[in-house]
């Protein structure tokens, strides 16, 4: 039996080495609000006052190294923005913070930018295009692409 179509990912918990550093990144660069903090062990951040979209914790990772390349684990967490202007504003903060952009693509269905947080966790920020605008082949099957994203044009839309 298939999963219900309204099922969604509610939140992500990330293991971090330094809680203050991680909070500063997700609050000041990504723009999330701290909802609750438990000393130097964990914090919960969200957009729009939700209880949390991101949990950060040091329970098993305090002062630990970033995940090694070539091992299993989280590839990236993706944050979807409601429109191009909101995506551009977050990208502007990321760039101004000196975060290295590791990739960017126009997938036809979405526009996405990729980078890592201070602990090496992969992040994707993106916005979906309306479903009516998604590319489809002659049979109507979704035909996603991996085209270059015009980052300067996107940044020009930052509020």
Q: How far apart are CA 133 and CA 136, in angstroms?
A: 9
In this prediction, residues 97-109 reach a mean pLDDT of 97
Q: How many CB atoms lie within 10 A of CB 15?
A: 19
Contact status, residue 30 vs residue 71, Cβ threshold 8 Å: no
Domains and CATH numbers, the chain: 8-64 (3.10.180.10), 75-159 (3.10.180.10)
Q: Encode pLDDT of 65-96 as tens digits.
A: 998 888 888 899 999 999 999 999 999 999 99
Q: Encode pLDDT of 50-68 as tens digits.
A: 999 999 999 999 999 998 8
Contact status, residue 93 vs residue 143, Cβ threshold 8 Å: no
Q: Encode pLDDT of 119-150 as tens digits.
A: 999 999 999 999 999 999 999 999 999 999 99
């Amino acid at each position: 039996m298939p999963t219900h179509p309204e099922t969604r990912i509610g939140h992500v918990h990330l293991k971090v080495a330094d809680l203050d550093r991680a909070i500063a990144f997700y609050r000041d660069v990504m723009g999330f609000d701290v909802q609750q903090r438990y000393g130097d062990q964990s914090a919960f951040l969200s957009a729009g006052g939700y209880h949390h979209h991101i949990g950060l914790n040091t329970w098993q990772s305090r002062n630990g190294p970033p995940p090694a390349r070539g091992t299993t684990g989280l590839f990236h967490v993706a944050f979807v923005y409601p429109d191009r202007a909101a995506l551009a504003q977050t990208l502007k903060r990321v760039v101004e913070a000196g975060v290295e952009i590791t990739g960017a693509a126009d997938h036809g269905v979405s526009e996405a930018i990729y980078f890592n947080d201070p602990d090496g966790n992969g992040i994707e920020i993106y916005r979906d295009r309306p479903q009516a605008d998604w590319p489809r082949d002659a049979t109507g099957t979704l035909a996603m692409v991996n085209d270059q994203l015009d980052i300067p044009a996107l940044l020009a839309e930052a509020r």
